[in-house]
Amino acid sequence: MLRHNSVELGLGKIPPQAVDMEVAVLGGLLLQSNLHSEIIPLMRPEHFYKESHQRIFAHMESMFHKSETIDILTVTHKIKNSGELDLVGGAYYITTLTDKIASAANIEAHARVVTQKFLQRDMIRECSEIIRTCYEDTTDVFDVINRLQNFAAEQNAHIIGHEHEGNYEQEVLNVYKSIVSVSDKHLQGIPTGNANLDSITGGFNKTDLVILCGRPGMGKSSRMLEFAKHATLNGKKVAIFSLEMSRDQLIKKQLINSSGILSHNILRHTLSDSEKYDLSFAADKQSKLPFYLNERCGVNPNYIRTVCRERKKKYGLDLIIIDYLQLMVANETKGIPKEQQVASISIALKTMAKELEVPIIALAQLNRDLEKRSDKRPIKSDLRDSGQLEQDADLILSVYRPSQYYTYTSDPDYKDLDELTYKRVSEIGIMKNRHGESEVSIEERFIGEFSRFDGATKTTPF
């Protein structure tokens, strides 16, 4: 891509440039073939201010990637055949590029200056555009912040040049060491609190997008809080974005879970003195766990990304939970159907998980259609609004409580259970697992009065 730099970037000043250094870089490359592999991969045509220099370097870059010889004659011939010789100043100008180069010894320093000037021009362009955007009434401030952060990250990557410094041998050794160290700990990711689920999934793994789905009333939020609790008890820092429940409701659920006090006693304010003591103990313990709760409604992925990026930088962050996905709004919503918005959110969350290197658990609703089937257990196609969720997710879990559809005497899958035991039966289904076994169901107990999932009894295929 060629960038034309004749316009003064709207500030009435000449853009940052170092044309003499550009000449030094191009001349050095024409003189010294041993420098090609060190300089050409680090630069792009748009790094050069003069358009003629952009065109010359573009041809050098193309020749380099085709393993063609690069010198004054071959480059001139290549540019002539492309019909651009007059545009770069003719054959004579190409020969003059080496006239002022006594030695190419300092070409790396010259290339660094050329790149820095390009970055300055790019910053002026981007910041000017951001300033214009900020004057618009319809601008979302979190979109602007996200744009600034992305731009800063791109500039840092450009300066660091990590893309060309990959050491595959070292990377293989690092992965090997991580596998061995994990094997010693018996668990790769963040513990889920369910031993059977951990044995199949390895826990919640870095960069994974996990979808936790179910119909209303199945206990998704309680299951999510169980996951969060076990993560924090293992020293992991957890951020929960609750788009449905308030932070007070979430904290009450956590206190009910951890105190062992009947939920209706707390909700009806009928606590005995001993229960008040137990609640005080639970509150003290709960308050010390590394939770961050955010109850802002209607947030988009850019907002969550901005908040989490800052929290990870300042305090550390190991797990992100969103309750629930369909209540989010896409970064861009104007004229976009709901299904496409959910697809956009799904892609953004997976990208966020990879960038922040943490697992993201997003709760999701299921379609009503499953209730028309004889078998009410969820399947992947029941995910509401988008097949993109099925594609992007690394792990899809479902929560299913048969007592929501059957009585303890009519359920064909559960026989010889008393009524109370049957009401507490819950299944967590592994509908997709990029890392291992899937289409299996793990039976659990859901004790609703304590908002608690307790134990796993058996694992069966769908």
Which positions ≥6 away from 433 have C-beta within 8 Å? 200, 201, 394, 395, 396
SS3 at position 150: helix
Q: Is position 84 annotated as part of the catalytic site?
A: no
Paired with 433 in beta bridges are 395
Angle of the 220-233 helix axis to the 247-259 helix axis, nearest 10: 70
Question: How far apart, in whole angstroms, are the C-alpha atoms of residue 225 and residue 426?
Answer: 16
Instruction: Provide the b/e sequence for 236-265 (b: ≥16 CB within 10 Å).
Output: bbbbbbbbebeeeebbbbbbbbbbebebeb
Cα–Cα distance, 121 to 128 (Å, whole number): 11
- Which residues, 6+ apart, have CB-to-CB distance to 172 below 8 Å? none
Strands in 319-323's sheet, in edge-to-edge order, are 291-294, 238-242, 319-323, 360-365, 209-214, 395-400, 425-433, 440-447, 452-461
Write the DSSP string, 324-392: -GGGS--S--TT--HHHHHHHHHHHHHHHHHHHTS-EEEEEEB-GGGGGSSS----GGGBSS-THHHHH
- Cβ burial, residue 183 (10 Å; 0-12/13-18/19+): exposed
Residue tagged 């952060």 (tokens): 149
User: Which candidate in 84, 244, 295, 390 is catalytic?
Assistant: 244
Q: Are 223 and 428 in contact (CB under 8 A)?
A: yes
What letter does residue 404 receive in the DSSP assignment? G
Contact 225, 452 (CB under 8 A): no
Helix (H, G, I), strand (E, B) or coil at 233: helix
Q: Where do we find the tokens 């050069």?
A: 48
Which residue numbers are catalytic? 244
